[in-house]
Chain A
């Protein structure tokens, strides 16, 4: 096949019961691509797949598959070109795994024909690719969801398609099966040169496995391009209406998207309160993401560079007082931290463990109380269990308690308290 495009869609319109679902959709998927469509529920992603497999026919616009108009294909012919893996499938009759996979040969077989050598070989390849060798004789009804999904993938592969469509194929699967299925598909794309068009829900799965992405919203494509071009904070906010943090996964180098909670509740936006957070070792990450989502103005310190809380603060763009990695807090940084505290309305001390290196952070909380700052402490266990300074931390902590700091024993109560504070200017 010398066609440039596996799929070429121009001005596609489709309405169902009077609702316009696709509104002038344009999409080109080059041959050999690992291509994805993402978008919110109801944006019309699955409708596109249904049109491509001719379950829906009353569309208007031009749809070309491998250089030919979709309508020009005969039924059997189309099933030899396009195979689809659905979200899930239900088969209540106990066919063996192998029989179900053999159904995929249907478009290649004549009536009354028993599977030829060629058919058998294709089925064997499909079984091998999907690691189903051990399950081939098992009844399909006895399989788990993940195993069934591999069987339906194998059935699609038995069709020997040039174009493989995936309709959220991993929605009902646990993380291990999700990765397995996507790995198989990636290899198929690379080795067998099958063009893949996947509708996915999970943005991170999409960025991890796909080359190009089309972002769909209310019936048309909004952005189309490489993963990095499409999965930006602005695009995602515009289409999904949530605020996200876009970073790189340190292990894979792929784009990693973290939804920030509560961002879509506008009434919570822009809390007019400045909070200075004292944390470290991961104790502040959740708090930062939550408070960021609720719209608090944040600052944080003192944190060692490379600390996980440090990474979070950096990616959220929160001002930091930072110290060299793995070094004790210097007097200079301690002073900087006190300056930050002066500018804050509230000082929040997270559930941190104290050693000689960060004891100054505890002292700065005490100093904050001394300067008349409202100081809030989260402490889920007895202080002695968090104290690795031979009692120095415990001593300061007791003083903090006496001096009128508010203490909560869990994060949620603390958040509720912070949210209940009236932020209107007096």
Chain B
């Protein structure tokens, strides 16, 4: 038995040590890696997102929040189609509360040069972290950040055309011209969110411009800044207001630590006229603010070693989202919409494309009358 062990041990030692030495390589010589396999992707992918939300004082809600399919097709190596079709809340019956069927992306890319490419169709606005990176495994928390809901209205998509590209040193850009917003739907609670026209017979008496610059030149760090500049229209061109969105964000990932933060501001300089007109028209004061402001920071720690297929991530996020940040003269802020929240949670990845999420959201506001509810959430999201 001893001899057997010696033989096997000798072979094992030889096998383990023979690589670089036998190949005459230096100590810096590469490790062996598997041979490349031919790519065999299909034209269909997607993600799903299933939530259980328990808001204090309310019944538990179980919601199949998102069922999303992505499609791609290459007409030529330089002309490509990408589409993203989303069913929200599982069921559509005309009115939005029952669900939505949305065409979030459907564009043609004309790939001309790394630095300059043309895109046209239904586009994702390149604003913020989440709007273009919204697959469940890529963000922590069952629900998207509050700032990415009421300040930046994700998922924000609109018809338009524009250019995108990348330069040496890790610089990237995209810039699009798109349809404007519908100011009739602006609100005190959610700012410009319901003003998205979503490419559905979008009225476009004026054009909007949006863009983003990203820098990926520092290892483990991505920083970005974006804007949206256009108008919100109501009643054709009878009433319009300028709308400007400015945003900056950063993501950092090293070893087990992940940090991300985002700051965003929305300016509606003609909010006073908008409030006056909508009050006369509907009899309800919409109390739209001149300025909305939001910021969040998140720290996450990979409890299992980074690089493993299974992973457990613990995170904490603080958010401040104020949709009544600065009111026009004569209007007072509704304090229940001056919100902040702490989110504590964890994401378990049984494999990289499946995320099991749990979190506790401690939402607060400035109102002494209307209390903000806390919530406990469980989610299951996957990508394929």
Partners in one complex: no
Q: Report A's interface with B, CB cutoff 8 A.
A: none
Residues of B within 8 A of A (CB): none
